[in-house]
Amino acid sequence: MDPRHAVVGLAGAAPRTATVDDGDTRLRYHVAGPAGGPPVVLLHGGGLDAAAVSWKHAVAPLSADCRVYALDWPEYGDSDPPASTPTLGYYAGVLESFLDAVGVGSARVAGISLGGGVALATALASPERVDRLALVGSYGLGNAVPGGRAGSLLGELAPLNAALWAATRRSRSLVAAGVRAATAEPPPGLVDEAWALARRPGAGTAWRDFQRAEVTSGGLRTDFSSRLRELSPSTLLIHGRRDRFVPVEWAERAADRIPEARLTLLDCGHWATRERPEAVNRLLAEFVSQSS
């Protein structure tokens, strides 16, 4: 077995792995649970991530009663490269095409970080596709660039960003530093998984292109904070009190503005699904199992 794939996998009962063509790109996804169960779609984040990383501990418990789909974004995991520039709008289009391809009209959608932003964008643009919405350390709740001026430079200066990713693909220490930044207490095994992803062909390319499209001199291009009152689905927000990337104040503001929202703060960093999987899974299982 390729060592780059050996440490990246879902925990618990093995789901079925499948591929689907969304019209432009071959997408790999995991599916588990009863065919007639309520559909739940899990969306992972950006950078060194994949469905089997952020949602490693979530698919098995959620699939006890629900039909769970966890897809790899284009050029993440084992999905093909994106067909066009990976903006947030592009990813929202991928999600809708994926739902069409697997025959799901409306789903209970949970997203972490970038995936949360995609879920949020879809719920605003196509509310009929999102039955319930769960946002974990979500993108799209404010316009400040994570990392301040250093983060802005990575988005604005493509050569600098490319050089950093080239170095990351050769350095386990840089990968470990990134995991430490994304977590308050890195869980066992997560650095190994991120390091395995870093050594895959094309690692970081889609994230680098997304940053270039989304980061401007005035801040993040996408900020839904002024539109949150338009959301119609019931919404669960889960946020780490020690999140260094998405300020906890953004989640608190979002909870005040979204008409049907509940916020739970956990003692962790940005990667709540890996730092506090039991708590996140308990919250999600209760949320997605509720009738609409």
41: domain CATH number is 3.40.50.1820
pLDDT digits (tens, 9 = 90+) for 32-83: 999 989 999 999 999 999 999 999 999 999 999 999 999 999 999 999 999 8
Q: Which two tokens stand for residue 145?
A: 């660039």
List Cβ<8 Å contacts ≥24 apart for 246-251: 246/113, 246/137, 246/138, 246/139, 246/141, 246/142, 246/146, 246/270, 247/142, 247/144, 250/141, 250/142, 250/225, 251/135, 251/137, 251/138, 251/141
Mean pLDDT of 226-231: 97
pLDDT digits (tens, 9 = 90+) for 90-149: 999 999 999 999 999 999 999 999 999 999 999 999 999 999 999 999 999 999 887 665
Mean pLDDT of 227-247: 96
Query: Rounded CA gap, 107 and 134, in Å?
Result: 11
Does some domain include residue 216?
no
- Domain total for the chain? 1
Q: Is the pLDDT of residue 175 over 60?
A: yes
Structural domain harbouring 52: 3-143+222-289
Does some domain include residue 181?
no
Among the listed ranges 125-134, 143-152, 187-196, 211-220, which one has the minimum average pLDDT value?
A: 143-152
Does some domain include residue 196?
no
Whole-structure pTM value: 0.93
Does some domain include residue 107?
yes
Does some domain include residue 213?
no
Does some domain include residue 247?
yes
Does some domain include residue 79?
yes
Q: Return the percentage of the chain with pLDDT > 70, whole number.
A: 90
Residue, of 283 and 21, whose pLDDT is higher: 283
